[in-house]
A and B are shown apart, each in its own frame.
Chain A
């Protein structure tokens, strides 16, 4: 009865629809976001969604989100991949830039120039740190945990030494401060940048050979070896990207709080891992979506802001996050797919 093209179109449409509905992690995260939002509205009232609060939540997301994407990339690469050095790289790049850039560019005479050089120096530090991690893991075959544990201590060690253990104040530098706080069309600049970076990396994972190879390496290292691409090169690129993302987080931190310190955000290592696990990235490698990482970061941020509204202590928030991590490890093992698909 049906003409063939129509049928294929119908099938295709069904396929797309099913794909959209079936990614349970995505559904789960979207509903988690909505639930948290509803709970926050019910508890904290409509002031939770006023522009001011939304913006203040949005500027807090990029730091953790960027570190989370870095951890996610390392995890997707498989073979015990993880990047524990993220926050150490972020702090180191901020400190190096804060110490070196004023020597070349005066923040008072050329603030815009200063901001750009600041960002540039941070990125360079990120590339170097990422390359060190990547080389240790790909060339010297260190286990990622050991390599990044060692480098995270070494990087924060360097931060302590060059900053002498104390914080460095940047003062008010307009372009940098704007980057941390100002909103264009209601969207804070650093949040927009974060979304752009996340979209870029998500697209790279999905549509480029890099992404295909990374998923292959993570899901089946042996098959990847026979596929004939350079695994070492791939790992090097992955950890370098992770380093760059961490250094961007360093710029965001410096812009937001106008100072840098070696021990800023020591608990971020754990929270970044929490975000990534909540996002459903498989710890053994081979699966993970960047959009889920972003959604998981927003859910956590809203939850944290809700606790702030309720005036709940930070310690209790950490308690809740630890419990959440364990709960999500359990939830992510229940496969909703089976009964979602068979219904029609």
Chain B
């Protein structure tokens, strides 16, 4: 299935069929890049609006939260686990911290709130890691359980109402600009500063995975935990670290979600985890662990954001989103399964 799609698209480049598909299979993120280019070209041809600065800035803004989730999920996945609870962690912290800051300490600077969210997310993530380690059950099932516990804790004990009076510091943070462009038709496109958070998180994640001993340990445990343990890697430490890192990024992502939307809705973010998993898998990370790259993940995030945001520009009703993303997952999964068989 995937082969036929690829050959259809590479005909103009005159490359030999087998050579290109082999190359793509060795470098899975390139398949995602190809899909991004294809989608962009097609939609750009149909609707000139696509290439406007405002639209591109919108997409950058929309991909921040998904991107942070995706990087956290990547680390957990690389360590051989699966995290289903990050959206619940983000929702709990964003709602709790926003309401608490508003009622007790509205003067609190955003830096402190972000740090609190990061620490809170890290602690919840550590609980995930410890549970996965001690229950010896699949991480998927454990984190489905913690997702339920965390989300319904929020809705039962903290609140279910939309909260709009968010503190000034949080609101202002979402308004910092790094780039303002006046477009031809007089409107102004703004690239908000919090996009930089994703850039920093990407660099840090890349550094952890590729330049530290912990990164080595994560890939080793994700590849084969038995052998890695025999080599002396500490399974518990690595699992707790991976889940804690994912929780940390989730906490930060939750606060960014509040400051970009200027309201805190406890029902937000639930159900977005499937899109995040789709992005990471499209980025070439194996669902069974032991592989994955930051660049691939970010490409996957861009692709999913693209599908979610611009189908409407091409005149395709937004009802097709889920279908298209689902097909991309199956397609990418089939392609990577071919890779593993070789």
Contact = CB atoms under 8 A, between A and B. Distances in A.
A153 B144 contact: no
B156 A333 contact: no
A262 to B, nearest CB: 9
Given A147-B333, A149-B329, A164 B319 contact: yes
Contacts of A165: 319
A208 interface: no
Given A151-B330, A154-B323, A156-B322, A143 B288 contact: yes
A329 B145 contact: yes
A157 B324 contact: yes
B32 to A, nearest CB: 15
Nearest to A136: B330
A318 B337 contact: no
Given A142-B337, A147-B333, A326 B146 contact: yes
Interface stretch (B98-106, B112-120, B228-236, B270-278): B270-278
A284 B137 CA distance: 9
Contacts of B321: 157
Interface residues of A, dominant DSSP: helix
Given A155-B326, A315-B155, A325 B148 contact: yes
Nearest to B88: A322
Given A142-B337, A158-B323, A326 B131 contact: yes
Contacts of A325: 141, 144-145, 148
A329 B135 contact: yes
A257 interface: no
Contacts, number: 140
A152 B274 CA distance: 10
Interface string B280-316: 0100000110000000000000000000000000000
Contacts of A155: 326
B323 A160 contact: yes
29 contacts: A80-B288, A136-B330, A140-B334, A142-B330, A143-B287, A143-B337, A145-B82, A147-B333, A149-B277, A150-B278, A151-B330, A153-B278, A153-B323, A154-B322, A154-B323, A154-B327, A157-B322, A160-B319, A161-B319, A164-B319, A274-B144, A313-B155, A315-B155, A318-B151, A319-B153, A322-B146, A325-B148, A326-B131, A329-B145
